[in-house]
Amino acid sequence: MLIEKINDPKDLKQLHLEQLPQLAEEIREFLIGNLSMTGGHLAPNLGVVELTLILHYLYDSPNDKIIFDVGHQSYVHKILTGRKDRFDTLRKYKGLCGFVKRSESEHDVWEAGHSSTSLSAAMGMALARDFKGENNKVIAVIGDGALTGGMALEALNHIGHEKRNLIVVLNDNEMSIAPNVGALHNYLGRIRSDKHYQKAKDEFQQFLNKIPAIGGKLAKTAERLKDSLKYMVVSGMLFEEFGLTYLGPVDGHDIEKLADVFQQANNVSGPVLVHVLTTKGKGYQPAEADSHKWHGITPYKIESGQLLKAVGPPMYTEIFSQALIELAGQDERIVAVTPAMPGGSGLVKFGELFPGRMIDVGIAEQHAATMSAALAIEGLKPVFAVYSTFLQRAYDQVVHDICRQNLNVIFAIDRAGFVGADGETHHGVYDIPFLRHVPNLVLMMPKDENELRNMMKTAVDYNDGPIAVRYPRVNGRGVELDPEMTAIPIGSWETLREGESAVIITQGPMIQVAEEAAELLKREGLSIQIVNARFIKPLDEELLLKLAAENPHMIVLEESAVMGGLGGAVLEFYAQRGIDGLSVRLMGIPDCFVEHGSIKEQRQEIGLTPDHVAAQVISLMSGRLQNVKRQRG
């Protein structure tokens, strides 16, 4: 098999072009087989097999810089760059990352888990190359969906202005085009990229300008005529107007045509956009039939395409979806907003039931936030459903357009806390620090699925400004749901377990960790109080004062960055009121990025487990514990 011979891009160059289709099929079989056991981004990678092959065949990585937008379509790239023997570790703890990662390989020249960054990176690398007087190629591969991100358009504008040599590959797996139009485009692409044509065109314009009196007018007329014809026949004029030479569209699964169009691109001076048409899920019928479902999947049965999922209570995302549908049926002001994540955010069913009230803006989190602000001004109740990690991209809009104007926008923040296999680019561990300090905002997190429903009711009923509820990427606890949702008093905490030895202040999934730690400590003769700090902002000041007076040994436990988190808020509260004499320990995520693996492994690495919590409590009150043991002896 050809795939067994490929351990480096140099091995690929030893093959004949005619052998690449066979290698493409072997790679597809490899991906389908391996991802059936590990899960991962199947459909995007099946769609870019030939494209990735031709890029590594024609260009010299890592000297030539191949940049993948997001990086979830980089599995073929990993196979070709010496990592195929580690694919059984994909997205596992200490194994291969599901995205491009610079520490994994010298061929991974740029890493990102968020979209629309590749063009800015390409521009930076092209500028650096020119500053250093080098002559390598820079190629950015970006999907058509990522072009909705404002950052990509900003980069296109700069790329066209600077006129540096770089290639933008538009991996288009949504749009289609008739064969005859495609053939015309390919023909025009060859003409525009032909050096002799470019030279002749320039010489003809210089000739016209030299004709006394009428030369300039003739040149302008010829330019207008040329532009008019191009607008009539070239669908890529948007990119031409940005200043890029447009080539394509080209069949992204035809090796020979791909080779031809990239050879044309190499002949062009300045930035080039190569428009490549691909099919997500190519070569695996279930993935081709439903590329959305198979974008990122759990392990599955190859023959049937049946996904292998653990049985258990519904995910928090599903509970959010059900609650929102129920509330929207009662309140016509509710509209849902999502930045290209209707499936991941649980809004598909909502969109089917309320088609005029579900707004998908594409990959444009900043726009989604500011648009939600305007919806609120006009009296609607926008629910901005967004992953925690993607909300980071709209920070300025949250502060400036929503919170500063104190608008009634509801943030439904999914994937709060560790997310598992997607790793450090997708963990939702920074939203508490970057939201907690913003004026006017209320921030909540539920202990279970029933409380999530009640928090959604709380958010809809709240009319005094922006309010956010964050929830994790895990299954619920299987608790019984109340027949009707009930609003929770803003800023109220609750004591879940009484105790006199120490208190654990926590929220969300960490409550279960605290409960298990309390059971361990009970064996040591310690009685632990557990407080559900369900409102991260505002704090329950009355309960905090009571705790300081009755139970001065405290652990603040959170699956969030410690710096700027709930623990910091508790310490700030006591410091501002001059309350001292307390013994407080903060447990959360330290100043580091936590890599991919299971959520259980990530918690173990950081020390967010019952054993670690129990050890912290024992350390906190070691002197008192010795007295307890002596009394028992």
Q: Which sequence positions are flagged as catalytic?
A: 280, 365, 393
Q: What are the structure tokens assigned to 103, written together? A: 């520490």
373: Cα separation from own chain's centroid = 22
The three-state secondary structure class of 49 is helix
Residues in the chain: 633
Q: How far apart are CA 284 and CA 265, in angstroms?
A: 31
> For residue 336, which amino acid is it?
A
Which run of H or E residues covers position 251? strand 245-251
**211 secondary structure, DSSP code:** S
Q: What are the structure tokens assigned to 149, written together? A: 């991100």
Q: How far apart are CA 338 and CA 344, in angstroms?
A: 10
Q: Give me the residue label for tokens 């890599």.
A: 595
Residues 336/350, Cβ–Cβ less than 8 Å: yes
Interaxial angle between packed helices 179-193 and 195-210, expressed in degrees from 0 to 180 and rounded to the nearest 10:
70
Q: What are the structure tokens assigned to 212, written together? A: 């006394």
> For residue 470, which amino acid is it?
R
Query: What are the CB-based long-range contacts (under 8 Å, 24+) for 58-62?
Result: 58/259, 58/262, 58/263, 58/266, 59/137, 59/139, 60/9, 60/136, 60/137, 61/9, 61/107, 61/109, 62/106, 62/107, 62/109
Interaxial angle between packed helices 255-266 and 179-193, expressed in degrees from 0 to 180 and rounded to the nearest 10:
30
What are φ and ψ of residue 138, in 5° steps?
-125, 125
Residues 548/529, Cβ–Cβ less than 8 Å: no
Sign of CA dihedral 386, 71, 113, 448: positive
Q: How far apart are CA 163 and CA 505, in angstroms?
A: 57
The three-state secondary structure class of 215 is helix
Which run of H or E residues covers position 384? strand 381-387
Count CB atoms within 10 A of the CB of residue 124: 14
Burial 12-45 (b: 16+ CB within 10 A, else e): beebeeeebbebbebbbebbbebbbebbbbbbbb
The phi-psi region of residue 570 (left if phi > 0; otherwise alpha if psi is between -120 and 50; otherwise beta) is alpha
Q: Give me the residue label for tokens 């065109």.
A: 201
Q: How far apart are CA 396 and CA 403, in angstroms?
A: 10
- In 290-340, which residue ranges form alpha helices assigned H by DSSP? 316-330
Q: How far apart are CA 49 and CA 33, in angstroms?
A: 15
Residues 453/483, Cβ–Cβ less than 8 Å: no
Pick from 372, 348, 343: nearest CA to 43: 343
Q: How far apart are CA 362 and CA 339, in angstroms?
A: 5
